[in-house]
Each structure stands twice: as C-alpha cells, then as structure tokens.
C-alpha cells in the first residue's frame, strides 16, 4: 500500500471545503500511484467539521478509514503546539472528533496546547502521531524536549521542505533526528492542491485498514520511501495554481460586497 501521511483538502484553513476539488484530488492521487492518504486538515481550519460530515454522510467507513471510490482516506488533524511545531494526529473518526472538542480551548496561538498534553491525549485514544516538518524555520519542532519527541510514532519527510531546501539536506536532518529519537520517518506531501500529490510516498509491504496496522508497519519499518523526480515541477505548479484560485475567490467576494 502506497500512502501519503500529510494531505490537506482545502486551499487554506480560512477557506471553505470544496467536495468537487476533493474528489479530483482522490482521482489524481490514484493516478499518481497512491492507495491511501491521511487527511489532516489544520485543527483550527474554519470548515474542518464540514469535511468530517461530508465523509461520514457519503462514504463507507471500514476499519479506521473511509473508502472513497476505492481509495482509503484516514482522518486526522494537524495540530499547533505551544513553543513551536505541528503534530499530525490520526485516529478513529470518533476519537478525532473527541480530540477536536478537547482542542477547542487551544485555537489561538496564545493558548496552543502543550506538547506533552497533546501526546497524553493522543496516546489515550491510541492515535498515530507524526512530527510534521520538524526543521521548518517557522515551526521548529526539533527544539521540543527529546523525551517528548521520542513518544511520537514517526517524523515527517516533507515535500515542501524538499522543494525549498533540497532532498539531501532535508532527509539528512530528519534521518539524524530519527536516529537520536529511535523512531522512523515517513513521507508527507503537505499538499493543499492535488497536483502536489504523489511527490512523495511511503510504500508498505502490507495493506493497512486500521490505525493499529499503520502504527505497527511504521514501528517495524516495513516500508520504503519514494520521492518523485518531478517533485519541484509539481510543487511549483500546485503553488501557482493555489495562489491564483485564492486570489480569484477573494476578488469574487469583494465584487459580491460591492453589488
């Protein structure tokens, strides 16, 4: 099973969920050789609950994932933590809703949840927890205490970081931290627009239907990592398209207000 552990379904956390774009993303992911992804919208995205409702109302839920036109969608959130860093929390759909409720008091930057508290919650619900882009300049997860980082299931080898700084540099940083913590690293495209899907993928030897399956395969390192040779072109194309669509939506809203 080929999976992407870091996927967003909307262009920006300030915009609404677009089911048509989501379904186009599913088809593009399939054509790009993916069989599954973790849908981990930002926990403070304005339309987060619409995504969960859309999936629940339209698709079969089997194991711990939705089956969307033959494609596996695991659900989660990308959570900001106090003192810097993002954590992907992926779990059973009911567990994710309960965790989101717990995070309602931690929406604003001034009150982001403490790393240790989030780890405690995630472990309580037996979630898969991944440290997002640990060396990104604006989200320096690697500066968090090592004993807390070691409680994560994996680190994130992230497409956007590879695009900006190069695969060799980024993978060396993530790999070194992985060795220090004695936890593996997996891949995340960090896409907000479908063209970026397939730039990286984690290829498991087995099919995974549950969070337990994912955690076990990661822990046992039963996978290999693949990085697309067309990564830079795909990321650039996704970035330009995303920005143009956001500008178009903004202009449409301004024109509507003038009428």
Domain count, the chain: 1
Single pTM value for the model: 0.94
**Quick check: 253 pLDDT over 90?**
no
Are the CB atoms for 51 and 9 separated by under 8 Å?
yes
C-beta neighbour count of 259 within 10 angstroms:
4
pLDDT one-digit tens code per residue, 146-170: 999 999 999 999 999 999 999 999 9
pLDDT band with cut points at 50, 70 and 90 for residue 101: very high
Predicted confidence at residue 245, as pLDDT, reads 86
Which domain does 234 fall in, by range? 2-258
Please determine, for residue 258, whether its predicted confidence score (pLDDT) is greater than 70: no
Q: What is the pLDDT of residues 179-213, one digit of tens each?
A: 999 999 999 999 999 999 999 999 999 999 999 99
Tell me the backbone φ, ψ of residue 97, rounded to 5 degrees.
-65, -40
The residues pairing with 2 across neighbouring beta strands, listed in sequence order, are 203
Q: What pLDDT is stored for residue 259 in this prediction?
A: 53
DSSP 8-state code for residue 10: S
What CATH number should be reported for the domain holding residue 100? Answer: 3.20.20.140
Beta strands in 58-160 (DSSP E): 60-62, 65-68, 71-80, 86-90, 128-131, 154-158
What torsion do the CA atoms of 81, 100, 122, 6 make, to the nearest 10 degrees? -70
Q: What is the pLDDT of residue 256?
A: 45
Q: Are 184 and 218 in contact (CB under 8 A)?
A: yes
Asked whether 155 and 100 are in contact (CB, 8 A), the reply is no
Q: Is the pLDDT of residue 228 over 90?
A: yes
Burial class (CB in 10 A: 0-12, 13-18, 19+), 242: middle
């Amino acid at each position: 099973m080929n999976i992407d552990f870091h996927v967003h379904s909307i262009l920006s956390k300030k915009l609404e969920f677009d089911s048509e774009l989501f379904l186009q993303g599913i088809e593009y992911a399939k054509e790009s050789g993916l069989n599954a992804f973790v849908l981990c919208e930002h926990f403070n995205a304005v339309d987060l609950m619409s995504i969960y409702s859309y999936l629940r109302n339209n698709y079969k839920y089997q194991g711990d994932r939705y089956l969307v036109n033959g494609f596996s969608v695991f659900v989660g959130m990308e959570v900001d933590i106090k003192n810097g860093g993002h954590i992907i929390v992926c779990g059973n759909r009911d567990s994710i809703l309960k965790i989101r409720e717990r995070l309602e008091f931690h929406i604003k930057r001034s009150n982001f949840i403490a790393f240790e508290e989030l780890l405690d919650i995630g472990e309580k619900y037996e979630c898969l927890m991944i440290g997002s882009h640990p060396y990104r300049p604006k989200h320096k997860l690697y500066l968090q205490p090592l004993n807390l980082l070691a409680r994560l299931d994996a680190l994130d080898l992230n497409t956007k970081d590879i695009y900006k700084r190069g695969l060799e540099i980024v993978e060396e940083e993530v790999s070194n931290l992985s060795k220090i913590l004695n936890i593996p690293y997996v891949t995340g495209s960090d896409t907000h627009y479908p063209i970026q899907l397939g730039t990286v993928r984690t290829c498991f030897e087995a099919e995974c239907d549950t969070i337990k399956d994912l955690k076990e395969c990661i822990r046992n390192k039963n996978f290999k990592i693949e990085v697309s040779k067309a990564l830079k072109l795909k990321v650039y194309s996704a970035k330009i398209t995303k920005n143009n669509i956001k500008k178009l939506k903004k202009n449409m809203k301004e024109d509507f207000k003038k009428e």
